[in-house]
Structure 1
Amino acid sequence: MTQVEIPSAAQADGTVQFGALARASGREYPMEILQSAAGFYLGTYSDSGPFTRESMQYWPTREKAKKAWDSGRWTQRTYL
């Protein structure tokens, strides 16, 4: 049986970080680890689906994306 990690908007310290690009668009959505064909990225999700990609980077695994997020080793995108 495979264990599946549920995406979380909370960082390792329990705080919730909201997407800067989402806020710039007039919305406040919590950051999450999301997946696309290119890999895992930090972004926001609305009721309609993925809303913003906040990170410049893509990571090959959810675990690597989480580690980058928790350590602050990622780059914020500055445009939509």
Structure 2
Amino acid sequence: MQTGQQIGLLAKRYLKVDLPLQVCQSNSGFFIGTIHPTDGPYSRESAEYFPDRDSAEHALATGCWTQLEGYDI
């Protein structure tokens, strides 16, 4: 559970930018991540993929999601 988290921790740790968490979409489904205003998708922060946008929005709003620990770079 990520209550109170407002920025992407992986984006900050690995990419050195403070970007707000938001619901993103990929071919695998919806997830919690960050998007850079000019560079597009930046980081996937949630371990989970959600079946629809509403589920992902609910998880983000309530903090009921799991933060990924790192990237395989």
Shorter-chain TM-score: what band?
A: 0.7 to 0.9
Paired residues, number? 66
What value does the CA root-mean-square deviation take over the aligned residues? 1.5
| Identity level (%) | 38
TM-score (norm 2): 0.83
Q: How far did 1:79 drift? A: 0.6
Question: Which structure 1 segments of 5+ residues have no match?
Answer: 1-14
TM-score (norm 1): 0.76
Structure with bigger gyration radius: 1
Question: Which structure 2 segments of 5+ residues have no match?
Answer: none
Which residue in 1 is equivalent to 2:55? 64
Q: Which has the higher contact order (CA 8 A, sep 6+)?
A: 2
Moved over 4 A (4+): none
Greater share of helix: 2
